[in-house]
A and B are shown apart, each in its own frame.
Chain A
Amino acid sequence: AQTVTQSQPEMSVQEAETVTLSCTYDTSENNYYLFWYKQPPSRQMILVIRQEAYKQQNATENRFSVNFQKAAKSFSLKISDSQLGDTAMYFCARSDFGNEKLTFGTGTRLTIIP
């Protein structure tokens, strides 16, 4: 099975600090997509950031950025200047080119401490 692994079940950080969430994955494909989704207590899954595997440049979205290491099959999420609203479950996910079903990790529960 092609899996996605998040090795940090829970993390907490002080407001305004920077935090990095880890994700590794297993795939035999060369073309694929990687995602970080956020799930607050409302249960609504929200896309945080997306990376195409064929792009070497790391994706960024405002305070959110990734460190994509294709050879190491690693895809970490960095949240800068963390805010209370960042408190949520964060899921790393992968899909193959032409096959859109997402394979998710088990998530990291992130708590931002005021």
Chain B
Amino acid sequence: GAGVSQSPSNKVTEKGKDVELRCDPISGHTALYWYRQSLGQGLEFLIYFQGNSAPDKSGLPSDRFSAERTGGSVSTLTIQRTQQEDSAVYLCASSLERGMGYEQYFGPGTRLTVT
């Protein structure tokens, strides 16, 4: 079946602009995660959605970052007033459900460049 998809694959934006990144998880997966991978760094957790529960936003670096998940499926990560330090690859992952250390399936990521 189809894997996790993300769009766009690359995004170049000017400092101060808002951007929206999209994630389509695997059908039937109730858990969805956003991570950020900065150049030369590991992956940093941003936010986690599980079913109808309140999302875990503990990893969002500032209030310029927000995310929503509509209908328990597609998710959008929004970065307002982008800064150069926001340049990174943003990865989305989904898994069957919470608990038991289920494998997270990752999308190909969106490379964001803020100029």
- Chain A residues packing against B (C-beta within 8 Å): 4, 32-33, 35, 37, 42-47, 50, 52, 91, 93, 95, 97-98, 100-107
For B91, what are the chain A residues with a Cβ–Cβ distance below 8 Å? Answer: 43, 45
A101 touches B101 (CB 8 A): no
B98-A50 in contact (CB<8A): no
Closest 4 CB pairs of A and B: A33-B101, A45-B106, A104-B42, A104-B43
Contact A100 B104 (CB under 8 A): yes
CA A104 to CA B59, docked complex, whole Å: 13
Interface residues as binary, B68-100 with A (CB distance below 8 Å gives 1, 0 otherwise) = 000000000000000000000101010100110
Residue ranges of B at the interface with A (Cβ–Cβ < 8 Å): 31, 33, 35, 40-45, 48, 50, 56, 59, 89, 91, 93, 95, 98-99, 101-109
The one of A37, A45, A95 in contact with B101, judged by C-beta atoms closer than 8 angstroms, is: A95
Q: Is the CB of B108 within 8 A of A100?
A: no
Contact B43 A101 (CB under 8 A): no
Q: How far in angstroms is the closest Cβ of chain A from B92?
A: 10
Residues in A with CB closer than 8 Å to B44 are: 104
A93 CA / B104 CA spacing, docked (Å): 11
Q: Which of B33, B104, B108 contacts A42 (CB 8 A)?
A: B108
Cβ contact within 8 Å between A98 and B45: no
Given known contacts A100-B98, A100-B102, A102-B35, A45 and B42 CB-to-CB distance under 8 angstroms: no
Q: A98 contacts B89, CB within 8 Å?
A: no
Assess A43 versus B42: contact at CB under 8 Å? Given A33-B101, A95-B101, A101-B56.
no
Q: Is the CB of A101 within 8 A of B103?
A: no
A-B contact pairs, 23 of them (CB 8 A): A4-B42, A42-B108, A43-B89, A43-B108, A43-B109, A44-B107, A45-B91, A46-B106, A47-B103, A47-B104, A52-B101, A91-B43, A97-B99, A100-B31, A100-B33, A100-B95, A100-B101, A100-B102, A101-B59, A102-B43, A102-B45, A103-B45, A104-B42
Nearest CB of chain A from residue B24's CB, rounded to whole Å? 15
Give A11 Cβ to nearest chain B Cβ, in Å: 16
